[in-house]
Chains A and B, each alone.
Chain A
Amino acid sequence: MPNNLTTPHSYRGKLIVVEGIDGSGKTTQLGLLAKWLIAAGHRVFLTEWNSSDLVKAATKLGKKKNALTPMTFSLLHATDFADRLLYRIIPPLKAGMIVLADRYAYTAFTRDVARGVDREWVRELYGFAVKPDVRLYFRVPIEMSLERLLARRMKLKFYEAGMDMGWSTNAIESFRLFQSKVLEEYDRVTDEFAMSVIDGARSISEQQHIVRDLVSRAIAEPQPQEAIS
């Protein structure tokens, strides 16, 4: 099957995705980007990983009983993603809007593989995904991410810390172990899918400057014209 994720799409809109571990600053950057785009008169649609109602129930149930295996975790997120792609990403793209995605299929390629799922299998699984026009990866070292999360007094999330893997009962230690595997996978993914790597240790405004530059170049590319029929 033609892999959509590696084939440019033909929708009128643009798809911009940000990736990075928790505490990498990607959500902050995406928020600033949205402000700028809206101020410039663009129609913007925001979507987040793991946010559709369909699988929330199952994820919750699985978490409560610690019943999700790496494979069911992976497939549940793919289900959630398929639902969001078809109802919340493709329609605005068809309508010519700019879709901003906080995490995308690449999150699955890093997290699921860090959990032990087959690297090629998960890439094939997401073969139906639309290729983003801009792919941003905010790279930070584990310690910086942890420092930021803890400074905000955020409780480390169960799955984000990889607590389901049982590597450590200490959330911080588990986070370190799990997220360092995730970071290794991000290094593969950024090469493989030609992502723009942004140094998340730089100042917020410096990063945003780079982001806006990359995005404005992508937006300037001609959009396919809708046939008049």
Chain B
Amino acid sequence: MTPEPAPGPTPPGDRATPGTYYGRGLPYLPLDSYPGKLIAIEGTDGVGRSTQIRLLREWLEVQGYGVIETGWTRSPLMRPTIDLAKASNTLNKLTFVLLYATDFADRLEKEIVPALKAGFVVLADRYIYTALARGAIRGIDKAWLRGVYGFAIVPHLVFYLKVDVDTLIRRVLESGGMDYWESGMDLKVGDDIYDSFRAYQNRLLREYGTLTEEFGFRVVDARQPIDVIQNHLRHQIGTFLKVQ
């Protein structure tokens, strides 16, 4: 059998068509220009994603849009397994990546696609870019990881809530501290949890910078007051929905 040519590295964001698969999708689930819209809010911990999503939902619903939220690692199928694996600390980087992909596949088929079909606005709290960033700093092959996530649907809008590392650290500390995985302790950058956390978040921010170029994120300065960010998001989303 002649192998088909492998898909090249991920197409840049501006060439990927929203509402289609990024790469090799699910042959049994063809996407047929569904009426719903997928909006992803990306960013590291402590940038206020969930607050912004809560406010957006309220605003959209008042305007008469049906809204569904989906969050990273929140699938009923995988949540217990991911928690177990984190707790037992047996997770190596490859299984870590694959567990997240499984969780995402579950939510894609059970939440995202049905919602898009039914015409909802889907607000995604983090999207595959979180996995791409975390995978990259753990040394996972980038082309391979993009291939695995080939079944992800290209969002209509991606907002990246961006902060600098000092702000980020202060916010995470204020909000209840760092966990082993989120601080990248598995990477053994250092024994000191603060140093490790700082080094990890620095790498993460650099990676998000690369992804911003690749996928054409709309960057929002997350150091601004909540209402300023919210107004900015509403303006952009409102304009987009009106045009559609």
Interface residues of A (CB under 8 A from B): 1, 54-55, 57-58, 61-62, 67-72, 75-76, 78-79, 82-83, 86-87, 115-118, 120-121, 123-125, 127-128, 188, 191-192
B17 at the interface (CB under 8 A from A): no
Instruction: Determine the main DSSP class of B at the interface with A.
Output: helix
- Nearest-Cβ distance from residue B14 to partner chain A, whole angstroms: 24
B-side interface size class: 35 or more
Determine whether the beta carbon of B80 is less than 8 Å from that of A79: no
B94 at the interface (CB under 8 A from A): yes
Chain B residues near A120: list those with CB within 8 A.
3-4, 6, 24
Can you list 28 A-B pairs, Cβ within 8 angstroms, ordered by A? A54-B84, A54-B85, A55-B81, A58-B80, A68-B77, A69-B105, A69-B106, A70-B26, A71-B105, A72-B77, A72-B106, A72-B109, A79-B99, A82-B94, A83-B90, A87-B92, A116-B26, A118-B24, A118-B26, A120-B6, A121-B147, A121-B150, A124-B24, A124-B148, A128-B94, A188-B1, A191-B1, A192-B1
Chain B residues near A75: list those with CB within 8 A.
98, 101-102, 105
Determine whether the beta carbon of A127 is less than 8 Å from that of B105: no
- Nearest-Cβ distance from residue B99 to partner chain A, whole angstroms: 6
Determine whether the beta carbon of A78 is less than 8 Å from that of B77: no
CA distance A70 to B78 in the complex (A): 15
CA distance A124 to B110 in the complex (A): 24
Determine whether the beta carbon of B27 is less than 8 Å from that of A116: yes
> Which of B76, B85, B98, B101 neighbours the largest number of chain A CB atoms within 10 Å of its CB?
B98
B187 at the interface (CB under 8 A from A): no
CA distance A1 to B141 in the complex (A): 7
B151 at the interface (CB under 8 A from A): yes
Chain B residues near A87: list those with CB within 8 A.
92
Determine whether the beta carbon of A54 is less than 8 Å from that of B95: yes
- Nearest-Cβ distance from residue A56 to partner chain B, whole angstroms: 9
Determine whether the beta carbon of B102 is less than 8 Å from that of A72: yes
**What 0/1 readout, one digit per residue, does chain B (74-94) give for beta carbons within 8 Å of chain A?**
001110110011000010101
Chain A residues near B85: list those with CB within 8 A.
54
Q: Beyond A71-B26, A120-B3, is A79–B102 a contact (Cβ under 8 Å)?
A: yes
Determine whether the beta carbon of A1 is less than 8 Å from that of B144: yes
**What 0/1 readout, one digit per residue, does chain B (7-37) give for beta carbons within 8 Å of chain A?**
0000000000000000111111000000000
CA distance A124 to B98 in the complex (A): 13
Q: Beyond A72-B77, A116-B27, A188-B1, is A86–B94 a contact (Cβ under 8 Å)?
A: yes
Q: Beyond A58-B77, A86-B92, is A70–B28 a contact (Cβ under 8 Å)?
A: yes
